[in-house]
Homo-oligomer: A and B are copies of this chain.
Amino acid sequence: MPDGCAGRRDGGCRVCPVRARSELNVLDDFDLGTIGHAKRRLEYRTGEAVFAMGDANRGLYCLSAGVVAVRKLAPDGQSVLLSLAYPGALLGYRALLDGGEHKTSAETLGPAVVCRIDQGTISAVLRRNPELTLELLRRAVREVDNAHEAIVNHATLSNRGRLLHLLVDLLNRHSRTDRDGTLVLELPVSRRDLASMVGTRQETLSRIIGRIEEDGLAAFSGRRVRVPRLDPLLRELEDCRCG
Interface residues of A (CB under 8 A from B): 72, 74-76, 78, 80, 82, 93-94, 97-98, 103-104, 130, 133-134, 136-138, 140-145, 147-152, 154-156, 196, 199, 241-243
- Docked pose: A149 CA to B103 CA in angstroms: 10
Number of copies: 2
Identify 18 new A-B residue pairs, CB closer than 8 A, beyond the known A72-B148, A147-B147, A151-B154.
Answer: A72-B149, A72-B152, A76-B156, A78-B156, A80-B151, A80-B155, A82-B148, A94-B141, A94-B144, A94-B145, A98-B141, A133-B133, A140-B143, A140-B144, A143-B144, A147-B150, A154-B199, A155-B196
Q: Which B residues lie within 8 Å of A104 (CB)? A: 148
Q: Which B residues lie within 8 Å of A74 (CB)? A: 152, 155-156, 241
In the complex, the answer to whether A155 meets B75 with C-beta atoms within 8 Å is: no
- Docked pose: A156 CA to B71 CA in angstroms: 14
Give the nearest-CB partner of A199 in chain B. Answer: B155
**Distance to closest chain B CB from A127 (angstroms):** 8
Partner of A151, one of B130, B144, B151: B151
Most chain B CB atoms below 10 A, which of A75, A76, A104, A241: A75
- Docked pose: A80 CA to B156 CA in angstroms: 9
Return 12 A-B CB contacts under 8 Å, by A number.
A72-B151, A74-B155, A74-B241, A75-B241, A82-B148, A82-B151, A104-B148, A130-B130, A143-B144, A144-B147, A151-B151, A155-B196
In the complex, the answer to whether A76 meets B242 with C-beta atoms within 8 Å is: yes
Q: Which B residues lie within 8 Å of A136 (CB)? A: 137
**Distance to closest chain B CB from A85 (angstroms):** 14
- Docked pose: A150 CA to B154 CA in angstroms: 11
**Distance to closest chain B CB from A72 (angstroms):** 5
